[in-house]
A = this chain, B = another copy of it.
Amino acid sequence: MSMGNSSEQLVKDMLAGSRLALARLITKVENRGADLPELIRILYPHTGRAQIWGITGPPGAGKSTLVDRLASKLRAEGKRVAIVAIDPSSPFSGGAILGDRIRMQRHSTDEGVFIRSLGTRGKQGGLSHAAKEVVLVLDAAGFDVVLVETAGVGQTELDILQLAQTVLVVLVPESGDSIQVMKAGLMEIADVFAVNKSDRPEADQLLRELVAMIGLSASSVAWTIPVHKTEANRDQGTDALLKAIQRHQAYLSESGARQKKTQAFLRREVLDILNERLNQSVLRSFESPEGREIFDQLLQRKLDPYQVADRICPK
């Protein structure tokens, strides 16, 4: 390995503005090698400045187009913008996403925009970690805003949103009461709602439903979730949406909520690292001769899970 690939050198080059070093660091983080803790240690003092926005919603809601519009507007304000797109892990819902990625290439000649897709297929467990650390790299690289776009409502996607300070949920008008639950779940993570494709006839009904749900849930909350109608394709309503997100960012700073969110993220992060370490050590101990014997006794119901836990990790 050449000197130029050491973590230390790559971070230096990245801080000096090298896009190549940035891309290599992100790949390193994605690969999750043994040198990851060292890399994070070197990066860490340079982090904590970026605004991190999460964008989620069902496939076909127009998230990527909206992200594209927001990125352009942020560029017009002189901000450096990074986009991290998490592709869904399911083989049944991929199609449109790749096209969206290609469309976003319109930014590709702009040095102030960086776009990276992370695939989830086959690394379900590691993805939320990798995504968090990719965001950390972009934060250290000095991007003002990192937009993290995820599809779906799976746990992985929700985990990833935990790192966002502001979560934008994008919905589209359509019928069917089965999405009520999804809406309810999204209510707990949304800071701002967009009703996209708002030229459709049912847009006003969806807007009314969302406002009613927010009214039910907002009694004890200092921030009332705003709902904005948008047509990302025609760039309608997107300026007001951007302002709403920026108002939320201002609210976070003024209310002290930003500090609290950061504390919760960091606590979660330390716990995740320790849980991951515990899981690996427990799975290893199941493979040892003694562990197999204990596990056999569990299968025969001679020991119960609490007793096995005590034997594997004495209190």
Which residues from chain A sit less than 8 Å from chain B, CB to CB? 36-37, 40-41, 43-45, 47-48, 58-61, 88, 90-93, 151-155, 158, 172, 174-185, 187-188, 213, 216-217, 262-263, 266-267, 269-271, 273-275, 277-279, 282-283, 286, 295, 298-299, 301-309, 312-313, 315
Contact = CB atoms under 8 A, between A and B. Distances in A.
Given A158-B155, A270-B282, A44 B177 contact: no
Contacts of A172: 178
A156 to B, nearest CB: 10
B184 A90 contact: yes
Contacts of A91: 184, 216-217
A36 B304 CA distance: 12
Contacts of A37: 304, 306-307
A283 B36 CA distance: 25
B174 A174 contact: no
Contact of A306 (B47, B182, B271, B273): B273
Contacts of A178: 58-61, 172, 174, 176, 179, 182
19 contacts: A36-B306, A41-B306, A44-B301, A44-B303, A47-B301, A48-B301, A59-B181, A93-B181, A155-B158, A174-B175, A176-B179, A178-B179, A263-B295, A267-B283, A267-B286, A270-B308, A273-B306, A274-B282, A277-B313
Among A40, A179, A273, A315, which residue has the most Cβ atoms of chain B within 10 A? A273
A90 B181 contact: yes
Contacts of A315: 277
Given A58-B181, A266-B305, A216 B275 contact: no
A201 to B, nearest CB: 14
A279 B61 CA distance: 37
A154 B186 CA distance: 11
A190 B182 CA distance: 19
A258 to B, nearest CB: 12
A151 B298 CA distance: 31
A187 B45 CA distance: 43
Given A263-B299, A266-B295, A282-B274, A185 B305 contact: no
Contacts of A40: 304-306
